[in-house]
Amino acid sequence: MQSDDKNINGQPHPNTPSFQELFDQATRQPATAPDKDSGTNLDQLRAAWNASWEQGGFLHGRWEELRRVPQSGWHGMANWIKALLVLTGWCVVVILLDTAGDIFDAALGRLADALPATQVGTSASDEFWGVVDNPIRTHIAQHTASLPVSGAAIYTFWQLTGLFGLIGGFTGATGARLTWTVWGAATVAVVWTTTPADGRTVATAIAVLAWAIASTVALRGWSLRPVVNNFPAPAQPAPAFQPQIEIRPEIHIPTPAPDDDAPDNVHRFQR
C-alpha cells in the first residue's frame, strides 16, 4: 500500500496516486464474464421439454389420451378430458341461455311497443320481468335483517339455484328437476305473499305462466304416465336326467285258441 505522505514543500510523493486516479479505479467496472447460469437453465428447460415428449413422458401421455378419444368413447377416455368437456359444455349452455334471454327480452319489448297505447301495451319487458323479480327482492330484504348473510348474496343464490335446476333438468338429472320444482313453487308463493292485494292475482298468474314455460325446458322428456316393464321369466335349467316318454296308440286283438269243431270257412284274423 502506497503512503499518502507529502514532501516538505507540499508536493505529493511521485509514487502516490492522485485522488482522481483512485476514484477512476474504484468506479471502473471489471469486464463481466458471460452468464453461464442462463445458458444452463435454457438447456435444462429444453431437455425437460424434449423428455416430456418422449415415450412415457407427461406430454406424450396426454397426447396419446387425446388421440385415443374417438376409439375409447365416454367411459374409456381420461378423467381430465371428461372434466374439460363438461366445463366447456356448461360454458356454452350459459352463453346460449344468456343470449336466449336477451333475444326473449327484445322480442317482448317489440311486442309491447306494437300493442295499442294502453296501460298494458306501454309496459316494457323490464317492467314485465319486475312483476316477478321485485317481490322476490322485497321479500329477501324484509327477512334477512337478522341473518349473517346479506340480501344481495341470498338473491344471487336464488338465481343460481334456478339456473342449476333449469340446466340440470334439461340434462335429465332427477335431483335438478326436483330442485326446479321446489324453486318454482317457492317463487310463486313469495310472489303471492309479497305483492299487494290489488295486483296479487295477476302477478301470481304471470309467475305461474313463466314457470310453466320454462318447465318445458327443465322437465324435457318427463311424463306422468306410469312405465310398466314386463320382463320374461328366467329360463329354468334342464334337469340332469330327463326320461324319454313315448306315447303311441295301438290296438291289440287277442288270437283265439284253435278249435277242432270250427267250420272250415272260419279263419283266424291275421294282423
48 SS3 class: helix
pTM, rounded to two decimals: 0.43
| 107 & 83 share domain | yes
| 138 & 203 share domain | yes
| 130 & 204 share domain | yes
pLDDT value of residue 1:
46
Of residues 35 and 226, the one with the higher pLDDT is: 226
Tell me whether residue 99 is in a domain. yes
The residue range of the domain holding 164 is 124-220
Residue where the block lists cell 320444482: 181
Domain boundary among 70, 102, 121: 121
| 204 & 147 share domain | yes
Tell me whether residue 235 is in a domain. no
Is pLDDT at 16 greater than 60 in this prediction? no
pLDDT value of residue 234:
66
Identity of the amino acid at 28? R
| 128 & 178 share domain | yes
- Return d(Cα 124, Cα 120) in angstroms, integer: 9
| 157 & 215 share domain | yes
pLDDT value of residue 151:
86
Crossing angle for the helix pair 151-171 and 174-194, nearest 10 degrees?
Answer: 140
Tell me whether residue 39 is in a domain. no
Phi and psi torsions of 12, nearest 5°? -70, 155
| 86 & 134 share domain | no
Of residues 97 and 191, the one with the higher pLDDT is: 191
Is pLDDT at 174 greater than 50 in this prediction? yes
Tell me whether residue 83 is in a domain. yes
> Long-range contact list for 106-112, CB < 8 A, 24+ apart?
none
Domains in the chain: how many in total?
Answer: 2
| 151 & 116 share domain | no
pLDDT value of residue 70:
84
| 99 & 129 share domain | no
Name the nearest CA neighbour of 132 among 181, 205, 183, 198.
Answer: 205
- Return d(Cα 189, Cα 186) in angstroms, integer: 5
Of residues 20 and 171, the one with the higher pLDDT is: 171
Tell me whether residue 258 is in a domain. no
**What confidence tens digit (pLDDT) does each residue in 111-146 have?**
666 655 444 444 455 677 788 888 888 898 888 888
Percentage of the chain surpassing pLDDT 70?
63
Tell me whether residue 157 is in a domain. yes
Burial of 102 (0-12, 13-18, 19+ CB in 10 A): exposed
Range 185-191 average pLDDT? 93
Q: Which helix (H) or strand (E) holds 22?
A: helix 19-27
| 133 & 87 share domain | no
| 191 & 134 share domain | yes
Domain boundary among 186, 205, 220: 220
Domain boundary among 90, 121, 152: 121
| 128 & 216 share domain | yes
Tell me whether residue 40 is in a domain. no
Tell me whether residue 244 is in a domain. no
pLDDT value of residue 187:
93
